[in-house]
Amino acid sequence: MRITAFIILLFVSLTSFAHRGNFLAINNVEITETEKSYIYSFAVENINSVEVRDIKIEFVVNSKSVFQKYYPLLKAEHNFFNEQFEVPKKWINAKVDLVQIEITEIFGKKDDWGGWDGPTFKQVNTAFSEFIADAPWRMSKTDESGNTRGIPIHMFLHDADEVIGTSPQIDYINIKVKNVSDNSFASPLTYNSMNAADFDALFSCQAVADAGMNVRGFNYGDFSTSTSYTLDFDIDTDWSGGNFLEVDENFYYFTFTIPPSDLVGLSDVVDIEVTCSYDNLLPLPWGDDVIRLRVFRSDEDIPTQSNFYRGDTHLHSMFTQNEAEVGLPLCGTKEVGQLIGLDWITTTDHTSDFDNYGGGNITTNWDRIKAEAAAYNAADPSLIYIPGQEVAVGNSNSELVHMLAYPSYTSVSTFPFMGDGNGDLTATSKTVDIVADQLASFGGFSYAAHPFATESKLPTVPVVGGIWNLGYAGFTINGLTFPETGGNIIANDENLDSDILYVQNGVLMGNGKLIKDGIKGSQIWNVRNTLSTAGDANDPWDVLYVSDPFTQFDTASYSFHIKKFRQGQEITNYINQLGLQLKNGDSTYQNWKMYISAGADAHGSFNYSNTNDFASLGTINNNAVGKLSTLAYSENGMGTNGENVLKALYFGNTTLSDGPILTIGISDDGENTSNEVLMGEDAVVNVLSLDDYYFNYNYTTSAEFGEVTKITMIVGTETGETRKNIPLTSVTGDNLESYSLTDILDLVLGTGNTPQDAYFYVRAEMQTFIDYTGQELIRRTDFDFFHSFTNPIWIKLSDVTSAITDAELVGIIPVIGPNPFNDSFTLYLSNPEQEEVKVEMYNDIGQLIFQEVSVITDAGIEYSAKELGLSIGMYTMKVFVGEESRAIRVVKD
């Protein structure tokens, strides 16, 4: 069998993930690839050259034992022996899965006797206990009164109950800060001279004892202040005289805020080091956990626009707990989200995890999330939690995909649990169709999670992962490349039914609907991974400038966030173009519009994370809470529990952003100061009143996110899209601009090319750029691009002759038909009071050529081109009734 090199990591790199035992060690791990398997070769070292009996070594994938090897005797003279595990490719995703080779038994006794771990990652669940310290990636430096804000550090210990033979014994936690330009930290922050009330006020998000969730409650008596440590834990003691806090519950957490007094003299970019030291001596001494963070503080708030609320549609909290992943508590996430600049967050924890904690009671755990969200909303409505779910569902190929399910905007609290608790290590009975139908039955809705991009396929191991299937041969099929973006298409198997459309066997079902009930859109912008490293998972910024820091992510890679977005956008655009074809062929067609959304898909991560859509082995990236946002429009606030945000998501009244904001709208009343037609909506425009329609766009950026480099207007028709960059009047700040609707369409499509009597859509995109030259060590890159993408507005220019309806003959709205005309046209006007009507006609240079005053009835009044002396060309007719007037464009053929 042919064997080719797959990955050969330097021994130094591999052994850096080894944890040596007292007797044995795993060394020299090397990975090779055959056509059907991966081979993990390694050496077992007899450290002390003594006889060791009854040894078990296990190959572990995502904390689940896959293979075991048993050795009855290792003689003293055998210092090394070589071994290997051969793993079928279908069992493992080598780019994603946490792989460990663990010595689990010696002398027949179970313990952590040493082993080798594949690269461990921040906010990815590891075997046994894990300590996490986290801080916001960006924040406003001052509050509303201009006072310097403190920096919150969230401390989170989980899975402490899974340590074999002992429990974590926290000796102390030290916090250090420094300027970003410094190469070393000063002494730990200490608070022995601070009065008790002020010191206690530095703590928040304190864990509340909860036997059901196996949470250890936070208690001020667990620790004391000292001259040496930030927090000196001393509530428990052992035989050796050590003082510590022993935690044997699943969770223990709190937030400590570095006070502003400790930030005096520091720059806007602050480096933080958190050390959690343990007192554990047996069976092996525990090493310290050292986590380093970089916080960017800004003098400006994150960009905002009136009546738009910034949120994260895809975020995981501590209620995501499985063999591979973990999130952070809602209270800590809320504190950080507010500082980042978020207004709302949807809690989209995996339904497959709801039986993994809290005694395994799904209903109790779901009720707990809803109750927590409602309580936090009531206590502080400045950031709203909306209880959602990332539902594990089967696709048309019986593979697992994810679905972001949201409650009805009319009844948030009654949202039922949509999953079955399965889908992580066992198959789920839920399918896309089942959940979509259930959502539609009570007014809930969903967005397909990271649905179409090449790199968004869920892993084969530990789940039988797949991808959403378009299932329609009108778009380029699997095995070919995306026409615009490039990259292999894996989301359009024409031989399988569609997961998102009412298509079976490649044919529309003929039920008068395109997109399945219960599905409103696709979350195609997922995980902002612009920086990456394979270095220290607890210090990717390399704040001491000694190791392997973040570097610019390969922007040509199809796992780069914009590449994934563009691939998803190609399929979403196709769905909308297909919707145009169907709607224009049958005005009663429903479910013909697909919206888009953005969400970080962060697993609690506040500062950086590796929980992206399956990046390369061992990489950490800079994705975090709020890195990708969806801005929802509402004139009436967010609602007590996010009702108005949900309504905006349901109707697509949203725009997407990773910092700067671009929004669009249409004014239909002759005044361009407000929008009557919003993103996500559709409008029939009377061509006779085109002069009253304005296309408005509002774009906003700040120094933090750079200057605007381009704004692109896009018009989509049944056959594709046309793009045009529009002139910029400013590249900074907040700008509201208006075009007449005719002008913007002519600008993009060319004069006379706008579709008539057929729906099309208009959407817009914006890009900003920031130059980090001179800040490369701080930013770990010398540039960045930021973006905003709007949802479309659907427009139909109405045929004049068919537009003369009873509904339009109300009030004083005049209608002319036919228009264009040859010999004559008729002016219609509802005039129940029989008021006098003044009519004026102007030529194309504004000269008055005709004027009369008369009474116009519902029957209308006919005008002859010959009598008016009209030649071929364009004219404007002004109609005056009382104090109101309307202008109508009239065309003579």
pLDDT attached to residue 779: 98
Rounded to whole angstroms, the Cα distance separating 808 from 686 reads: 10
Q: What is the mean pLDDT of each run of 10 residues along the chain (893 residues)?
A: 28 41 82 84 89 93 84 90 89 69 89 71 64 96 95 94 83 98 96 96 98 96 96 90 91 98 97 95 77 96 98 95 86 97 97 91 95 97 98 96 97 95 88 98 97 91 87 94 95 96 92 97 97 88 94 93 98 98 95 98 90 48 96 97 98 98 93 90 87 94 98 97 96 96 95 93 98 97 98 86 36 73 84 81 79 81 88 83 78 81
- Between strands 18-19 and 115-117, the pairing is antiparallel
Rounded to whole angstroms, the Cα distance separating 348 from 346 reads: 6
**Quick one: angle between helices 362-379 and 330-340, nearest 10?**
40
Q: What is the pLDDT of residues 634-651, one digit of tens each?
A: 999 999 999 999 999 999
Rounded to whole angstroms, the Cα distance separating 442 from 427 reads: 26
Chain centroid to CA 790? 15
Rounded to whole angstroms, the Cα distance separating 562 from 415 reads: 33
- Which residue from 736, 782, 789, 748 is spatially nearest to 767, judged by alpha carbons? 789
Q: What is the pTM of this model?
A: 0.80
* Dihedral angle, C-alpha 486, 487, 493, 499, nearest 10 °: -90
Query: Taking a C-beta distance cutoff of 8 angstroms, is the pair 412, 642 a contact?
Result: yes
For residue 366, report the phi and psi dihedrals to the nearest 5 degrees: -70, -40
Query: Taking a C-beta distance cutoff of 8 angstroms, is the pair 324, 425 a contact?
Result: no
pLDDT attached to residue 25: 86
For residue 230, report the phi and psi dihedrals to the nearest 5 degrees: -65, -50
Matching residue, tokens 């590891």: 126
Cβ neighbors of 6 (< 8 A, separation 6 or more) are 31, 32, 33, 38, 94
pLDDT attached to residue 133: 96
pLDDT attached to residue 38: 86
Asked if the bond preceding 792 is cis, omega within 30° of 0, the reply is no
Query: Taking a C-beta distance cutoff of 8 angstroms, is the pair 817, 801 a contact?
Result: yes
Q: What is the pLDDT of residues 283-323, one digit of tens each?
A: 667 789 999 999 999 999 999 999 999 999 999 999 998 77
Rounded to whole angstroms, the Cα distance separating 300 from 600 reads: 22
If one counts every other C-beta atom within 10 angstroms of the C-beta of residue 803, the result is 21
For residue 601, give the amino acid letter: D
Residue 867 in tokens: 């009598």
Cβ neighbors of 814 (< 8 A, separation 6 or more) are 688, 827, 828, 829, 877, 879, 886, 888
Query: Taking a C-beta distance cutoff of 8 angstroms, is the pair 419, 351 a contact?
Result: yes
Residue 139 in tokens: 């924040």
Chain centroid to CA 393? 19
pLDDT attached to residue 837: 87
- Which residue from 732, 709, 884, 714 is spatially nearest to 789, judged by alpha carbons? 714
Cβ neighbors of 45 (< 8 A, separation 6 or more) are 24, 25, 26, 27, 79, 80
Q: What is the DSSP string of 486-545?
A: -SB--S--TTS--SSBSEETTEE--SSBSBPTTEEEEEEEE----EEESS-TT-TT-TTS
- Beta strand ranges found along 97-168 (DSSP E): 99-106, 109-110, 115-117, 130-134, 138-140, 151-158
Cβ neighbors of 211 (< 8 A, separation 6 or more) are none
312 burial type by CB count under 10 A (0-12 exposed, 13-18 middle, 19+ buried) = buried
Residue 423 in tokens: 């889908």
Rounded to whole angstroms, the Cα distance separating 663 from 504 reads: 36
pLDDT attached to residue 123: 58
pLDDT attached to residue 578: 98
Rounded to whole angstroms, the Cα distance separating 219 from 773 reads: 47
| CA–CA distances in Å: residue 513 to residues 6, 219, 406, 581, 791 | 47, 57, 21, 12, 20
pLDDT attached to residue 615: 33
